[in-house]
Amino acid sequence: MSKGRINLVHIYPREMSIYGDLGNTRCLASRLRWHGYEAVVHQHHPGTEFPEDAHLVVGGGGQDSGQARVEADLERNGDRLKALAADGTPMLMICGMYQLFGNAFITVEGRSLPGLGILDVTTRGNAKRMIGPVVLDTEFGEVVGYENHSGSTVLGEGQKPFGTVRSGMGNNGTDQTEGATTGNVFGSYLHGPILPANPAFADALIARAVERATGRAFEPGTPDDTLADQARLRQVRRLVG
Ligand code: GLN
């Protein structure tokens, strides 16, 4: 018998999922099942109704052009997303969607795409891209992934980063911060996709979603994470020794 039903909303999977970030949605849905819960995945596309009951919201990376294509819908649903975030809904926004959950993304051509301001970060496009494997220290332990962005992100005063860079560029290549987190909202540049490679982080999002959906504490199952753990350790050893 299912321990409960969790509604997972993936925003803009067509426009904003070009670096394998769909793997985050698949990982969350699979892990929920492995833990004994029922996962209902809803894909939200521009111009359609935002689902009533969202327990977990994810968004991925995309090109600047993809970001421009989701702008109007993001603005239309901005109050809804802000209310969900303020109410403690867990959310994971990668790269391009991370930028749009910030205050603004100013493209390399100087066009300003306003963000939702859920995370106090501001991003400017550069001629130079930041590309390569990454190792972070986070509250969920070592997190590994792969970054590929031209946007350089600066945290507002008091904004907590998602992690500290041990190898890679992170938000801007200079201050060793990576991503941002406020309440249960997480923004990060890490593709990979990030969640299959970092099950502890995936389960932290799941635990928060389960509490919201069922009103009860998360009762984990025993998924076999051997492969993910081995791959993560290999990347950590290769990059930081
Ligand atoms: N346009 C953004 C950048 O290059 C987003 C890239 C991404 O989502 N990977 O900074």
Do 105 and 115 form a contact (C-beta atoms < 8 A)? Answer: yes
Whether 44 lines ligand 1, by a CB cut-off of 6 Å, is: no
Report pLDDT for 211: 98
**Cβ 130 vs Cβ 169: under 8 Å:** yes
Interval between CA 72 and ligand 1 midpoint (Å): 18
Atom of ligand 1 nearest to the CA of 66: 1
> Which strand ranges, in their side-by-side order, compose the sheet holding 112-114?
112-114, 104-106, 121-124, 152-155
Is the whole-model pTM more than 0.95? yes
Q: Determine if ligand 1 sits within 6 Å of the CB of residue 96.
A: yes
The single residue listed with the structure tokens 């970054």 is 147
- Say if residue 27's pLDDT is above 90: yes
Nearest ligand 1 atom to the CA of 191 is: 9
Q: Which of 142, 145, 148, 149 is nearest to 164 (CA)?
A: 142
Structure tokens at 20: 């394998």
Instruction: Retrieve residue 46's tokens.
Output: 């521009």
Would you list the domain boundaries of the chain? 5-240
Q: Is 69 annotated as a binding residue?
A: no
Return the active site residues.
Answer: 95, 191
Alpha-carbon gap, residue 137 to 20, rounded angstroms: 23
d(CA 147, CA 22): 16
Q: Residue 89: what are its φ and ψ, rounded to 5°?
A: -65, 130
| pLDDT on residue 18 | 83
Pocket test for ligand 1, best of 148, 172, 178 (most atoms within 8 A of CB): 148
- Classified by CATH at the fold level, domain 5-240 comes out as Rossmann fold (3.40.50)
CA-atom Rg of the chain in angstroms:
17
Distance 27 CA to ligand 1 centre (A): 22
The pLDDT tens digits for 70-101 are 999 999 999 999 999 999 999 999 999 999 99
Q: Is the pLDDT of residue 1 over 90?
A: no
Residue 35 has pLDDT above 90, yes or no: yes
CA of 178 to the centre of ligand 1 (A): 14
**Would you call 52 exposed, middle or buried from its count of C-beta atoms within 10 A (0-12, 13-18, 19+)?**
exposed
Residue 45, token pair as written in the block? 């596309």
One-letter amino acid of 129 = R
